[in-house]
Structure 1
């Protein structure tokens, strides 16, 4: 099991997070957090899209608003 968890560590440290090593040595805060700002912007866009889709379904009346929408309730 130790080798399994070391493999996961190696995947994330040496594989998936290697772009962050470049940002670690930058002096500019804005430049080093560019990736985080991009993720925040993508999240905001996704949230606005999702809320618009919910409003569309709500306006059409397709939303099931019954109190017991599931049989186990």
Structure 2
């Protein structure tokens, strides 16, 4: 069981944090480049959220969304 949790720790610290380690090392070399990468991610998320909300408004205006209160047919 200990090996299982050590494998989870290895996955997160040595594999999944590689991009964060890259940005952290880049910040020591060039602060502006590291922040540009961060702002690109922030702007991408803002644009995706704006597009998603816009599509929700389109579906609501067309009454295309299903407003049924029952989750499954066998519950009604």
Using the size of structure 2 for normalisation, the TM-score is: 0.64
Count of aligned pairs:
70
Which ranges of 4 or more aligned residues in structure 1 deviate by more than 6 Å?
A: none
Calculate the aligned-residue CA RMSD, in Å.
2.5
Q: Find 1:57's aligned residue among 56, 59, 71.
A: 59
Give the 5 Å matches for 1:22-61.
22-25=22-25, 26=28, 28-61=30-63
Unaligned runs of 5+ in 2: none
Using the size of structure 1 for normalisation, the TM-score is: 0.66
